Amino acid sequence: MAEANNDDKDNVNDKSSLRGIRVIELGSLIAGPYAGSLLAQFGADVLKIEPPEQGDPLRKWRKLYEGTSLWWYSQSRNKKSVTLDLRSPAGQDIVRKLVASADIVIENFRPGTLEKWGLGWEDLRQVNPALIMVRISGYGQTGPYKDRPGFAAIAESMGGLRYVSGYPDRPPVRSGVSIGDTLASLYGVIGALLAMHHLRANGGEGQFIDVALYESVFAVMESLVPEYSMLKHVRERSGASLPGISPSNTYPCKDGHYVIIAGNGDAIFKRFMTAIGRGDLGEDPCLAHNDGRVAHNAMLDEAIAAWTSSHDLETVLATLGAAAVPCGKIYTAAEICTDEHYRARDMIETHTLPDGVPVEMAGIVPKLSETPGKTHWLGPALGAHTEEVLASLGISGAEFQALREAGVV
């Protein structure tokens, strides 16, 4: 189990992949801020700009502890909170001053919003020609839908994910997390790092990265489009099974639990059938390869379910584990937090909240051998770093107080 020092601010950039990189985060909620979080975890100096008084709405989302979202503490780790009213000329001027020495700006406003405030791409690139700007929106910066508001739920629907999620006799379902937002965050970070490499390796000026939520979902939809293009096949909902790949499904166990089994490799399938006493199926030449098994998928699922239903979950896992057949139980949050493998790989970190109460949160991914990511502190109090950051711009004392009284900070 990883133990974290929440006061380790002086060592944020020690042996960090993104040491010396400054990021200005102008977004709110998930897609933009999660991208900023990923960069902060690997040593970037991320300045999160929040509106005064209320801050990022994420501070009040999901489960709260002492009035602050536990999600906030996790997603905003290693960031510095700076309060600025982006609608005010004074706040806009401060952003431009910060951008002048920044490497990356991240934003997820509706297209046109930053332009209205004089903070769009064309405005900021004049301040800093080497700037890299990640722009995340529902539908992208161009196209007939660009002005529509777009959240992850809408993007998951337009991107094709919702239609294929669930059971064929029921309405489409969503996953329990905002996967459209997090996919967009990942593409935004990839784009920023690609642009940074290009800038440093090839010279020239910076660029902006246009990330659409729906396109981020669409990009992971595998063979959805070529199957329709060539065969006019529309992939439908298939419940817990993996369409076109057999056998791969969720099966009931005798004790009321469920087991996930992926026995779809040719050699794996033979071992699988032998382990459940159906060597006849394992040796059937019609089932030797995936296309043959897909044609008989219903029969195979029935045979497998008959076996799993006669054993409890632990027996199923032990039997298939001994046969090297990929399988697993469906983890709850409680099981994740007590699992030895999670602990061995430092995927559960222990931190301390402002009142001294310990809290656990997810570890950092990916794991780099020489410059690993690290949690130095949890999501900060609103505006905790405003005075410090503005002082670095030469704004201090009476000027800072005047900005505060005017509601700019």
Question: Over the stretch 325-374, which tens digit does the pLDDT of each residue have?
Answer: 999 999 999 999 999 999 999 999 999 999 999 999 999 999 999 999 99
CA atoms within 13 A on the CB side of 202: 10
CB 135 within 8 A of CB 123: no
Residues of the chain whose pLDDT is less than 70? Answer: 1-13
- Domain boundary assignment for the chain: 2-220+345-405, 248-335
Backbone angles phi, psi at 152, to 5 degrees: -60, -40
Largest CA distance in the chain: 85
CB 249 within 8 A of CB 240: yes
Looking at CATH, the fold of the domain delimited by 248-335 is given as formyl-coa transferase, domain 3 (3.30.1540)
Residue 362's DSSP bridge partners are 348
- Kindly report whether the peptide bond that precedes residue 247 is cis, defined as omega within 30 degrees of 0: yes
Nearby residues of 49 by Cβ (< 8 Å), 6 or more positions away: 24, 25, 26, 82, 83, 84, 86, 95
Report pLDDT for 116. 97
Q: Tell me whether residue 266 is one of the annotated catalytic residues.
A: no
Identify the CATH class of 2-220+345-405.
Answer: alpha beta
The active-site residue out of 56, 85, 103, 181 is 181
The answer to whether domain 2-220+345-405 and domain 248-335 are alike in fold is no
Tokens of 66: 């002492």
Would you say 114 and 143 are in contact if contact means Cβ atoms under 8 Å apart? no
**What is the per-residue pLDDT for 354?**
96
Query: What's the pLDDT score for residue 8?
Result: 52
| pLDDT at position 396 | 85
